[in-house]
């Protein structure tokens, strides 16, 4: 029963992200910018602190946009009449998003400006020495794309059903990352078997059909393959 409630809580939370993504143009812009920045970060030798700052900055912008949407929805629920306090609340919430966005631009400028000036001297093998960063960035990009596709197709719940299968996409993304990092046939084979079991369990439980699982596998594997193939 507790597990059921926990799964429902995750569903509600992700459903909130999907709702914001579907209804708010700025949220779609933020997600696209986040994917672009994460892809760009793969080509530079960023420190752990810089990676953490990027993750925090991206999260801050997305969180403030969601809070802004929540405040607007709450005010619209309370009244449909013009009120100066309602205007103040909406403007302040929008101002918070603006501050977070300006902060993100400043962070990106500080982190990437010097590195972009030396872009012709950057060797892609530098990223090869940071498989952990590459793996996490690949996973985040896969998750963001899966959430975007679920918002577009609008079927199922965030953790059950819908196009594509997010669990399968993540599983096959991990298999692809393991293949590049380990270069060990046995480890790759075992990882692939685990990913297949994840895909099979989604079908067996009735959460996804075969096509949705296949599309999730292709999505996770291809995105991660593209990222690793680009930098290796």
Quick one: pLDDT at residue 118?
Answer: 59
Tell me if 67 sits within 8 A of 96, measured CB to CB. yes
Buried-exposed string 79-113: b where 16+ CB fall within 10 A, e elsewhere: eeeeeeebeebeeebbebbeebbeebeebbeebbe
121 is catalytic: no
Per residue in 150-201, pLDDT tens?
A: 788 777 665 667 788 888 998 998 888 888 877 678 888 889 999 999 999 9
User: Is the pLDDT score of 124 beyond 50?
Assistant: no
Catalytic residue among 65, 121, 183, 204: 65
Give the closest residue to 220 by CA, choosing from 159, 172, 179. 172
Q: What is the pTM assigned to this prediction?
A: 0.65
Token code pair at residue 184 = 């060990």
Q: Return the axis-axis angle of helices 166-182 and 185-204, rounded to nearest 10°.
A: 180
Per residue in 75-116, pLDDT tens?
A: 988 888 888 888 999 999 999 999 999 999 999 888 887 776
Q: Return the axis-axis angle of helices 48-78 and 25-41, rounded to nearest 10°.
A: 170
């Amino acid at each position: 029963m507790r597990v059921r409630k926990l799964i429902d809580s995750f569903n509600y939370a992700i459903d909130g992200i999907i709702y914001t993504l579907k209804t708010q143009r700025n949220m779609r812009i933020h997600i696209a910018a986040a994917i672009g920045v994460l892809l760009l970060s793969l080509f530079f030798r960023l420190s752990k602190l810089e990676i953490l700052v990027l993750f925090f900055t991206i999260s801050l912008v997305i969180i403030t946009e969601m809070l802004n949407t929540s405040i607007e929805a709450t005010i619209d629920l309370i009244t449909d009449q013009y009120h100066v306090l309602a205007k103040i609340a909406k403007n302040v919430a929008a101002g918070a998003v603006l501050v977070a966005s300006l902060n993100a631009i400043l962070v990106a400028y500080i982190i990437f400006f010097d590195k972009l000036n030396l872009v012709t001297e950057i060797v892609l093998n530098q990223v090869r020495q940071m498989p952990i960063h590459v793996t996490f960035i690949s996973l985040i990009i896969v998750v963001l794309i899966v959430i975007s596709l679920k918002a577009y197709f609008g079927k199922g719940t965030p953790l059950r059903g819908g196009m594509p299968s997010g669990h399968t996409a993540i599983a096959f993304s991990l298999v692809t990352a393991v293949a590049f990092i380990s270069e060990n046939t046995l480890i790759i084979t075992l990882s692939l078997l685990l990913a297949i079991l994840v895909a099979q369990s989604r079908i067996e439980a009735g959460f996804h059909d075969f096509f949705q699982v296949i599309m999730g596998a292709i999505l996770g594997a291809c995105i991660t393959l593209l990222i690793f193939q680009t930098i290796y």
